């Protein structure tokens, strides 16, 4: 696969020797120099633009670009969706049921997305995703007026997520090299955080000053821009052979991996949604949610790249075990915390040190996918993740009044990783 061309500008610059040459009339020299000053520069600019466009023909580069822009939009609205539901009168129990429907639907529509990508292409799958994303934002925008569409939003969100993550995982697994997978994964995780480092705080500000509707409009525009990098790529042919028997076969061959994905799916969901719900209910401050997410992103962006650099050289399970011990301490600390300051401090630490888990573990996922049938393994991975999240929210319905207990539950996956 072509590595593309550099987007750095050329070091050629226009010269004006006639203005400095004593053998010529100075005024004429200067006049001629300025009359031609812009001409070479125009060619340089055109070549620079062409080189940048050629860069987008690289699947991996386009994936980084798309995921970074998409991450900006996600940073605006992602963690604020449950807060929006609470602010317009939905209960925590209703939100948990929403996410049960959502995660069950994601699993189903991963199969649909794979069928669509096989028959129509990965790029067209991403374009169709935009349609469902637009419908999702439209009904979110009008939810207060049309409350009966609450659970339809859950399904629309599931469709757009499946039609985004299936092609992204497949493209990334096929285009990244196993030998340097840690570095590739660290860029995939870190670049969205670097690009949108203060986006969650901006999202909190927009929702506070202008309302959630303005937030959905801003996110929709950025989501639309995110597809631009994929306008210039070709197509990667895919083949899907997944069936129930193959899922059982993978789960037997990768028992520890299956269980780890199950548990980490639970922990990730608590971090993404249940923690923000708890903070909003406890401190009733949307800005604190945005500030928390910004701190997480800041720490994650910096340390993830560093972990990625060394995870290809050091055995990945060593990173996982060190990270597991640290994350156990952080989640117990969150359970014991009673003020916002301690949550902020622990969030900075979690942002930095969770990379010890995310980079090596996701590297293992992509390497496993490359060692098997990529498309099928990507679908298989979604099974334990979705099951874990469905069970989390189902159990959460029994402990809605004691939501903080979930912080102790989030420490359990990392105990398992000590023996992974």
DSSP string, 215-259: HHHHHHHHHHHHTGGGGS-----------HHHHHHHHHHTHHHHH
Cα–Cα distance, 346 to 271 (Å, whole number):
12
The pLDDT, as a whole number, for residue 347 is 80
> Are residues 44 and 161 located together in one domain of the fold?
no
pLDDT band at 301 (very low <50, low <70, confident <90, very high): confident
The pLDDT, as a whole number, for residue 269 is 94
**Residues present in the chain in total:** 420
Asked if residue 332 belongs to a domain, the reply is yes
Find the domain containing 298 and state its range.
56-417
Cα–Cα distance, 77 to 297 (Å, whole number):
15
Answer whether residue 102 shows pLDDT above 80.
yes
pLDDT tens per residue across span 148-186: 999 999 999 999 999 999 999 999 999 888 888 999 999
Answer whether residue 89 shows pLDDT above 90.
yes
| Tokens read off for 161 | 């997520």
> Are residues 41 and 114 located together in one domain of the fold?
no
Asked if residue 191 belongs to a domain, the reply is yes
> Are residues 34 and 63 located together in one domain of the fold?
no
Q: Whose structure tokens read 């340390």? A: 303
> Are residues 187 and 334 located together in one domain of the fold?
yes
Of 374, 388, 327, the C-alpha closest to 352 is: 327
pLDDT band at 312 (very low <50, low <70, confident <90, very high): confident
Note whether 236 and 174 are within 8 A (CB): yes
**What percent of the chain shows pLDDT beyond 90?**
53
> Are residues 24 and 156 located together in one domain of the fold?
no
> Are residues 43 and 66 located together in one domain of the fold?
no
> Are residues 128 and 269 located together in one domain of the fold?
yes
Asked if residue 401 belongs to a domain, the reply is yes
Asked if residue 6 belongs to a domain, the reply is no
Cα–Cα distance, 366 to 370 (Å, whole number):
6
pLDDT tens per residue across span 104-135: 999 999 999 999 999 999 999 999 999 999 99
> Are residues 209 and 232 located together in one domain of the fold?
yes
In the chain, the number of structural domains is 2
Of 238, 236, 234, 305, the C-alpha closest to 56 is: 234
> Are residues 152 and 185 located together in one domain of the fold?
yes
Q: Whose structure tokens read 């989501």? A: 223
Asked if residue 365 belongs to a domain, the reply is yes
Arithmetic mean of pLDDT over the chain: 84
Answer whether residue 403 shows pLDDT above 50.
yes
pLDDT band at 230 (very low <50, low <70, confident <90, very high): confident
pLDDT band at 79 (very low <50, low <70, confident <90, very high): confident
Cα–Cα distance, 152 to 154 (Å, whole number):
5
> Are residues 157 and 22 located together in one domain of the fold?
no
The pLDDT, as a whole number, for residue 294 is 75
**For residue 106, how many C-alpha atoms fall within 13 Å in the half-sphere facing its CB?**
26
pLDDT tens per residue across span 25-37: 444 544 444 444 4
Asked if residue 8 belongs to a domain, the reply is no
pLDDT band at 302 (very low <50, low <70, confident <90, very high): confident
Residue 202's domain is classified under what CATH number?
A: 1.20.1250.20
Q: Whose structure tokens read 């269980």? A: 259
Q: From 34, 52, 70, give the residue that closes a domain.
A: 52
Cα–Cα distance, 243 to 100 (Å, whole number):
23
Asked if residue 3 belongs to a domain, the reply is no
> Are residues 87 and 132 located together in one domain of the fold?
yes
The pLDDT, as a whole number, for residue 383 is 97
> Are residues 337 and 195 located together in one domain of the fold?
yes
Note whether 73 and 130 are within 8 A (CB): no
Answer whether residue 203 shows pLDDT above 50.
yes
pLDDT band at 352 (very low <50, low <70, confident <90, very high): confident
Q: From 6, 31, 52, give the residue that closes a domain.
A: 52
| Tokens read off for 139 | 């009904």
Answer whether residue 12 shows pLDDT above 50.
no
Cα–Cα distance, 85 to 157 (Å, whole number):
14
Asked if residue 314 belongs to a domain, the reply is yes
Q: What is the dihedral of CA 178, 182, 184, 187, to 10 degrees?
A: 170
Answer whether residue 287 shows pLDDT above 90.
no
Q: What average pLDDT does this structure show over 377-399?
A: 96
């Amino acid at each position: 696969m072509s590595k593309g061309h550099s987007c750095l500008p050329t070091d050629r610059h226009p010269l004006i020797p006639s203005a400095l040459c004593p053998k010529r009339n100075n005024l004429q020299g200067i006049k001629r120099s300025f009359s031609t000053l812009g001409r070479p520069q125009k060619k340089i600019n055109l070549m620079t633009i062409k080189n940048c466009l050629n860069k987008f023909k690289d699947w991996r580069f386009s994936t980084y670009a798309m995921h970074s822009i998409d991450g900006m939009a996600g940073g605006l609205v992602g963690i604020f969706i449950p807060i929006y539901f609470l602010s317009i009168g939905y209960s925590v129990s209703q939100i948990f049921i929403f996410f049960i429907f959502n995660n069950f639907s994601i699993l189903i529509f991963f199969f649909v997305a794979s069928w669509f990508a096989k028959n129509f292409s990965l790029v067209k799958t991403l374009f169709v995703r935009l349609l469902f994303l637009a419908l999702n934002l439209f009904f979110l925008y009008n939810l207060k007026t049309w409350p009966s569409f609450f659970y339809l939003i859950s399904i629309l969100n599931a469709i757009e997520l499946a039609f985004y993550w299936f092609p992204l995982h497949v493209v990334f697994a096929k285009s990244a090299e196993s030998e340097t997978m840690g570095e590739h994964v660290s860029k995939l995780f870190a670049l969205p955080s670097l690009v949108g480092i203060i986006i969650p705080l901006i999202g909190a500000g927009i929702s506070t000053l202008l309302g959630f509707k303005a937030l959905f409009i801003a996110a929709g525009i950025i989501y639309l821009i995110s597809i631009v990098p994929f306008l210039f790529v070709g197509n990667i042919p895919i083949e899907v052979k997944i069936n129930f028997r193959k899922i059982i076969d993978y789960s037997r061959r990768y028992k520890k991996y299956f269980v780890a994905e199950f548990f980490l799916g639970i922990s990730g969901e608590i971090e993404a949604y249940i923690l923000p719900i708890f903070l909003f209910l406890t401190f009733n401050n949307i800005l604190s949610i945005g500030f928390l997410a910004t701190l997480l992103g800041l720490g994650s962006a910096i340390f993830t790249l560093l972990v990625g650099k060394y995870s290809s050289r050091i055995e990945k399970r060593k990173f996982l075990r060190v990270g597991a011990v640290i994350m156990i301490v952080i989640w117990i600390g969150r359970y014991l915390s009673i003020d916002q300051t301690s949550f902020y401090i622990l969030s900075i630490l979690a942002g930095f040190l969770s990379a010890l888990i995310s980079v090596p573990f996701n590297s293992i996922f992509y390497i496993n996918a490359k060692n098997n049938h990529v498309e099928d393994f990507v679908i298989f991975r979604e099974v334990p993740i979705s099951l874990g999240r469905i069970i989390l929210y189902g159990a959460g319905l029994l402990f809605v009044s004691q939501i903080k207990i979930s912080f102790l539950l989030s420490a359990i996956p990392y105990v398992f990783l000590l023996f992974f």
